[in-house]
Structure 1
Amino acid sequence: MMQIIRHRVEKDRLLLETTNGRIMLAPYSNKIIRIRYTLETEFSTQESLMITGLPDSKISFTVEDLQSHLLFSTKELTIRILKKTGAFTYLDASGALLTKEPDRRGKMLVPMDVMKSVFDESANIEAGQGADGLRVRADNVTKVRDRKAFHTKLAFEWMEDEALYGLGSHEEGVMNLRGTHQYLYQQNMKAVVPVLASTRGYGIIVDSYSMMTFRDDAFGSYIWTEVDDEMDYYFILGPEMDSIVHGIRELTGKAPMLPKWSFGYIQSKERYASQEELVAVVREYRQRELPLDCIVLDWKSWTGELWGQKTLDPQRFPDPKAMVEELHGMNTRLMVSIWPIMNPQSDNNKEMNENGCLLGNQATYDAFQEKGRQLYWKQANEGLFAHGIDAWWCDCTEPFEADWSGAVKLEPEQRMLINTEEAKLYLDPEFINAYSLQHSRGIYEGQRRTTESKRVVNLTRSAYAGQHRYGTVTWSGDIAANWETLRKQIPAGLNFCATGSPYWTVDIGAFFVQNKPELWFWNGDYHSGIQDMGYRELYARWFQYGSFLPMFRSHGTDTPREVWQFGEPGEPVYDAIVICLRLRYELMPYIYSVSAHVHHYDYTLMRALSFDFRHDPNTYNIGDQFMFGPAFLVNPVTEPMYYNAGSELLEGVKKTRDVYLPTGTAWYDFWTNRIFEGGQTIEAEAPLDRIPLYVKAGSIVPRGGSIQFAEERPNNNIHICIYSGQNSSFVYYEDEGDNYNYERGVFALIPMVWDEHNRTFIIKEREGSYPGMRVNQSFNLTFLGVNDGGGSLKEAEKTTQIHYTGNYIEIKLEDL
């Protein structure tokens, strides 16, 4: 049992001496407190890989010494420390309970030996082909004791009425984490971020990089880490979810602006095999007038079997620079897949080896070495970036997996053990979760050193806290095509974004489409691919969902993915896909403005309902609806309505889905403008060509015209839709689209306000400017909904057009 023996108040921290170690509490702000616990005589001096924020030296705190406990308080947050056991209780400024540790004991450190691998002449290295690429493994590796460290355990008594979100993106599709458990290690279809956010108004960041366990079940409620020098975590007061995310990014870094084009449609498949094929696909998009912003060159772009070589095969890609120039001439960007593992016969591998930058398998580069990261960027720059490519697809950023084989998927505990043990062969056990974080860091820092004219875009399969500051978008891995997977992807993405990492996506249509019984993961339901009407329906619904993700990207194997592969104009599936494709581009002014809010104000684009409706408990467990920015309630269809697999026609199936409309606001059906009161579940129309979509009353939504790529600037007007019902505001954002001048204030803001009481729309003076800005702009205004005087909205619409020169404008609805 831990007992507080004495305490000492220093300028920037409180130190606790206990019968079992030392605890430090240090305020980083009035809402953020860092807590450390060690059994050593001194706290660790190891530099954090995830935390970049520093404590605010101006923050003051008080410590009250009472009979049974200590009170450590900032202006907004109090921690009550029980002297008898050292248990913490977390309170807000009013004294309201946020959460608490068990009175018996909240923190535990258990000594353990850290083992490291010795790769001597007895080690046997073998190369083989795994399901997702080259794998090089070492056998007969000697293990020796390296140092002492600790298992850590941080326990809580979570409240009955709270929901917990976060921990990253996981294939099980759990929304509210209460009553569940999760193993936290990096794996295909598992992107870990050790962050929790609670509807009671607080968040927790655990500064650890080892394998972890989260539990809230019969075994207890706690976070356990396998290998750490000490316990180190941060407690963040919101109370709103956006405020929690703001605190997370105060600590882990801001999310940089992604280029405007990256919010457009990205076409990918496994794989475009030649320069000719790649360019021809883009030409087809342009000829059909289907919007497109990027095409992806997937694996095996290198020569022969030289896996991971960061140069293009000269036989299939004879003139990379000319290829990129032709793509750019069609206003399309190129994303190229690169890998951390390199065939030992490749030039890239040999150069890494000569510089001592390979891990023990002699094939995967050491991203934890600065020298290794810089050499990796040098190779990527010389072999690819110098030709003008625009974005990276850093695949396989969890480079050590060991169970993607066989007909039977192993039990979760087996999977955890076999995969973490494989990673610990080559990586320090204390850092096996941080490979993707460091790999992403090298790409970002390398590109920023090389040029400021292109924003970094890096699509990764793994993630960690702080990785977002390196321009990354994480996707959910190599998932399979079936309706169950589609349903589970929605809460996976919402939990990922709840950790403060704002950019997440999926393979639209899923990676594996067919079923191969000899491989457990190749378990799609559609052997005939696009010839199966069941798959076409599933793809259309997945595409609708994907059009409201931060990155909008189709990808997969087994069957083609281009829009015209699903039919021709006039055919139901083709038309359904094109409707959402065009809608994505029509909403580009809204999406890009919200993305600026993500950077400047730590906003979240893809939002669990509790972000905006934390005081409506009915939202806590909803995992198949979400907010897309402040305006849109998105409700993907996750059940077949027309066909089963094998083109089996379904009969008597309703073309609707239940939608819960959160309380506290009215809602507009986006397609019909019909108005519904919140706080009810409705049966929403959901024919194949329509995703149920609602707009919150009190929304201002800028929309563009018909464009073919994100940065296209047609002469037609920006369309501003004002959904009345309550006061609202929106800041319309513009900049140059793809450089880092915005960091120096080179952008323009147009604040817009709807005053519900006075029925007045205000466009304020423009703030700022950028090269190429249109000084004069026309806005088409559409006002939706009219207050009937009794507090209710009735359906109505008024339109007008105004000319905006950057000066204040006020439009009264009664004057129209």
Structure 2
Amino acid sequence: MLDEDWALLPADKSEVKITLYGDSAAIVNGNIRADVSAAGKITFSNQNGDLLLQEYLRSRKNISEFCSALNIDAREFKPVLGGDYGLTARFESNPEEKVFGMGLYQQPFLDIKNCTLELAHRNSQATIPFFLSNLGYGFLWNNPAIGQVTFGKNITEWNAKATKQLDYWITAGDTPAAIEQAYAAVTGTAPMMPDYGMGFWQCKLRYQTQEELLEVAREYKRHELPISVIVVDFFHWTNQGDWRFDPDYWPDPEGMVRELRSMGIELMVSIWPTVDKTSENYEEMLRKGYLIRTDRGIRTSMDFLGNTVFFDATNPKARQYVWEKAKTNYYDKGVRIFWLDEAEPEYSVYDFDNYRYHLGPNVQVGNIYPLMYAKTFYEGMEQEGQKDIINLIRCAWAGSQKYGALVWSGDIDSSFASLRNQLAAGLSMGLSGIPWFTTDIGGFHGGNPDDPDFRECMVRWFQFGAFCPVFRMHGDREPHSPPLGMKGGGLCASGAPNEVWSYGDEAFDIFKKYMLMRERLRPYITRLMKEAHDIGTPPMRPLFYDFPKDQSAWGVEDQYMFGPDLLIAPVLHERERVRRIYLPDGANWKECSLKVVHEGGQWITVNAPLSEIPIFIRDGANLPI
């Protein structure tokens, strides 16, 4: 086995016991046991002897177990001409099993049993190949190759288009929390989130000038509204790949940072991994091998407002080069948070077999890219002595959490249907080991602040956002403002206003209510972030995480726990004013809007006027809702 530096941390010494019996063998490590039959079939069980998972083998070689003329192997390598191997791994399927995790996909299903998922990153899709089973185990596909997984009713099948070896990690646990903690222990935990990360983040596409951004920050203060972070979005630069402010529109970055800090606000700045062929850094990066390659056609991987190539984040020298540029032009001017956009990376054409990295062909290693992109900035900031590092990033892979990755769900649609997808995405990301999750409140694509229907969607999304790990406004609102110039920071258009006062008086009053509620909950959220840092517990999680013995809780997909004491039931449909809610067994629940206490283990129906998101407090917890 090659000791690849993928998702797993260096192994600690374990007390492993190996037993040989006849032509078979068993290996035991803690609560999990693997038996290997004479035919080579592997079966996993827990410390109680309960079957967790077994390979799918249909072969005449398997006479003692399941003789079959199908001749299907559990593990199959097929040579790729001129390369390594295509890989298929097969497991028996339990039709009653429930499967959760696997990262971020734009679909509303929390239980992904009977789903087929692409193992590849796209804008608004982040594949994190770890899942948790209600049968009591967790499974990590420790392979960054492009591929596919099917959690079928009849078979579970993993596929990698090109790889050198089969490598997966499996753990057993009596509870979902135990499984998640074991996974976090081998892939790493997030840093402690800084205090400002737990407040309100203001962003839009896009503040076009320094003065425009500062005036928005001042307006928040005039309204006496809490705000922790404000964002300079993309195309504030002289050129893609220069990684510096355009002085025509951002003349005094240091002064901007100073004024914002005097108001208690941190500045976040957008970084793209794209390098325009006219960039001042392109020729040097090309000559030194710091850019990704294409196996056919011209070397252009994205053509948004220019012909660009992504820097090769799998190359340690390229990572150091990019960080030094960002340090000189941003960090040394006071910027302490970066928005690592385009992190999949987002190809103009997703021909995964056409791109090649320092570590190998994209089809073999491509899913590691966003982890390495996060590592570029995390290690650079760490070298400067910064603690509690957090950077917003649009994609992640297994282990990204240890590099301070705050993942958002990409350029999504502005609709209630999209909102439903984001709830599933956020819960799945938490179960995939990524505790820091956020969305563009209101969605990214479209939405007119003057449209009453969109205002309703925005209010419901904002209420949900207040109970996400990070509470962040963003979006490309309609109608657009024109570009300010023909080059550099003036090249890109801007969306309509996207501040909390942009949606009318009724919405503003609701927004303010939940902003202040979020502020009052900061001590509670700090405790949640400490637990995420210490043992990997996701702040937002499905009901079954805290109530695994309640079988009904395993089937609820439109509610969640925000920490151990708050049950959140977001309103996910237009014009919905009544909400059916399940209260898990084993606790009493106080309905916050009416101060009524309900016994757990039952379904209830509650009113949900536009101004309210149903919130329930567990067992009399003292929280300032």
Displacement, 1:424? 5.3
What residue in structure 2 maps to residue 339 of structure 1? 272
2:475 matches 1:538: no
Q: TM-score, normalised by structure 1?
A: 0.69
What residue in structure 1 maps to residue 541 of structure 2? 607
What residue in structure 2 maps to residue 257 of structure 1? 192
Displacement, 1:399? 2.3
What residue in structure 1 maps to residue 407 of structure 2? 474
CA distance in 1, matches of 2:539, 2:284: 41
Matches within 5 A, 1:143-292: 145=82, 147=83, 149-217=84-152, 220-292=155-227
The CA RMSD over aligned residues, in Å, is 2.0
CA distance in 2, matches of 1:53, 1:698: 43
> Residues 386 and 75 of structure 1: is their aligned pair in 2 closer, same or farther, counting only changes over 3 Å?
closer
Find 1:113's aligned residue among 80, 84, 88. Answer: 80
CA distance in 2, matches of 1:187, 1:219: 28
What residue in structure 1 maps to residue 577 of structure 2? 655
Displacement, 1:658? 0.9
Displacement, 1:99? 2.4
2:468 matches 1:549: yes
One-letter amino acid of the counterpart of residue 184, structure 1: L
One-letter amino acid of the counterpart of residue 573, structure 1: A
Find 2:500's aligned residue among 555, 563, 574. Answer: 563
Matches within 5 A, 1:455-604: 455-513=388-446, 526=447, 529-558=448-477, 559-568=496-505, 572-604=506-538
Q: Is the 8 A contact 1:242 1:604 kept in 2?
A: no
Q: 1:156 aligns to what SS in structure 2? A: strand
What residue in structure 2 maps to residue 63 of structure 1? 19
Q: Deviations over 1:77-106 (max 9, x none)?
A: 2222222x3222221111122222235367
Select the structure of larger CA radius of gyration: 1
What residue in structure 2 maps to residue 102 of structure 1? 56
> Residues 592 and 494 of structure 1: is their aligned pair in 2 closer, same or farther, counting only changes over 3 Å?
same
One-letter amino acid of the counterpart of residue 421, structure 1: D
Find 2:33's aligned residue among 64, 75, 78. Answer: 78
Gaps of 5+ in 1: 1-42, 115-144, 404-417, 514-525, 642-653, 704-720, 722-816
> Residues 560 and 422 of structure 1: is their aligned pair in 2 closer, same or farther, counting only changes over 3 Å?
farther
Displacement, 1:151? 2.1
CA distance in 1, matches of 2:609, 2:560: 20
> Residues 390 and 74 of structure 1: is their aligned pair in 2 closer, same or farther, counting only changes over 3 Å?
closer
- Whose RCO is larger (CA < 8 A, sep 6+)? 2
CA distance in 1, matches of 2:187, 2:404: 13
CA distance in 2, matches of 1:320, 1:75: 54
CA distance in 1, matches of 2:136, 2:252: 55
CA distance in 2, matches of 1:348, 1:469: 30
CA distance in 1, matches of 2:120, 2:404: 22
Q: 1:193 aligns to what SS in structure 2? A: strand
What residue in structure 2 maps to residue 805 of structure 1? none
Displacement, 1:612? 1.2
CA distance in 2, matches of 1:692, 1:400: 37
Displacement, 1:242? 1.6
CA distance in 2, matches of 1:251, 1:205: 11
What residue in structure 2 maps to residue 730 of structure 1? none
What residue in structure 2 maps to residue 368 of structure 1? 314
Q: Is the 8 A contact 1:79 1:89 kept in 2?
A: yes
CA distance in 1, matches of 2:173, 2:190: 19
Q: Deviations over 1:589-647 (max 9, x none)?
A: 00011101111122211112221122222222322111111111111101122xxxxxx
Q: Is the 8 A contact 2:392 2:406 kept in 1?
A: yes
One-letter amino acid of the counterpart of residue 2, structure 2: S
Q: 1:325 aligns to what SS in structure 2? A: helix
What residue in structure 2 maps to residue 649 of structure 1? none
2:611 matches 1:689: yes
2:11 matches 1:44: no
Displacement, 1:263? 1.1
CA distance in 2, matches of 1:300, 1:338: 9
One-letter amino acid of the counterpart of residue 312, structure 1: F
CA distance in 2, matches of 1:640, 1:346: 46
What residue in structure 2 maps to residue 410 of structure 1? none
What residue in structure 2 maps to residue 758 of structure 1? none
Q: TM-score, normalised by structure 2?
A: 0.89
CA distance in 2, matches of 1:421, 1:582: 49
> Residues 173 and 422 of structure 1: is their aligned pair in 2 closer, same or farther, counting only changes over 3 Å?
farther
Displacement, 1:66? 4.9
Gaps of 5+ in 2: 59-71, 294-298, 301-308, 478-495
Q: Deviations over 1:104-149 (max 9, x none)?
A: 36731323226xxxxxxxxxxxxxxxxxxxxxxxxxxxxxx3x3x2
One-letter amino acid of the counterpart of residue 383, structure 1: N
CA distance in 2, matches of 1:207, 1:258: 27
What residue in structure 2 maps to residue 391 of structure 1? 337
One-letter amino acid of the counterpart of residue 61, structure 1: K
Q: Is the 8 A contact 1:633 1:694 kept in 2?
A: yes
> Residues 590 and 106 of structure 1: is their aligned pair in 2 closer, same or farther, counting only changes over 3 Å?
farther
Q: Deviations over 1:347-367 (max 9, x none)?
A: 233442343312223732111
> Residues 263 and 659 of structure 1: is their aligned pair in 2 closer, same or farther, counting only changes over 3 Å?
same
One-letter amino acid of the counterpart of residue 370, structure 2: S
What residue in structure 2 maps to residue 37 of structure 1? none
What residue in structure 1 maps to residue 11 of structure 2? 54
CA distance in 1, matches of 2:431, 2:612: 27
Q: Which moved more, 1:346-355 or 1:671-680?
A: 346-355
Q: Is the 8 A contact 1:402 1:422 kept in 2?
A: no
CA distance in 2, matches of 1:210, 1:288: 50
Displacement, 1:542? 0.2
One-letter amino acid of the counterpart of residue 102, structure 1: Y
Give the aligned length: 579
> Residues 432 and 557 of structure 1: is their aligned pair in 2 closer, same or farther, counting only changes over 3 Å?
same
Q: Is the 8 A contact 1:252 1:466 kept in 2?
A: yes
Q: Is the 8 A contact 2:589 2:620 kept in 1?
A: no
Q: 1:508 aligns to what SS in structure 2? A: coil
One-letter amino acid of the counterpart of residue 628, structure 1: F
Q: Is the 8 A contact 1:594 1:605 kept in 2?
A: yes
CA distance in 1, matches of 2:166, 2:147: 12
CA distance in 2, matches of 1:75, 1:399: 39
What residue in structure 1 maps to residue 481 of structure 2? none
**Which protein has the bigger strand share?**
1
Q: Deviations over 1:667-715 (max 9, x none)?
A: 11123321111121111221111101111216454x5xxxxxxxxxxxx
One-letter amino acid of the counterpart of residue 291, structure 2: L
**Which protein has the bigger helix share?**
2
CA distance in 2, matches of 1:581, 1:502: 21
2:262 matches 1:316: no
CA distance in 1, matches of 2:289, 2:45: 51
One-letter amino acid of the counterpart of residue 93, structure 1: Q
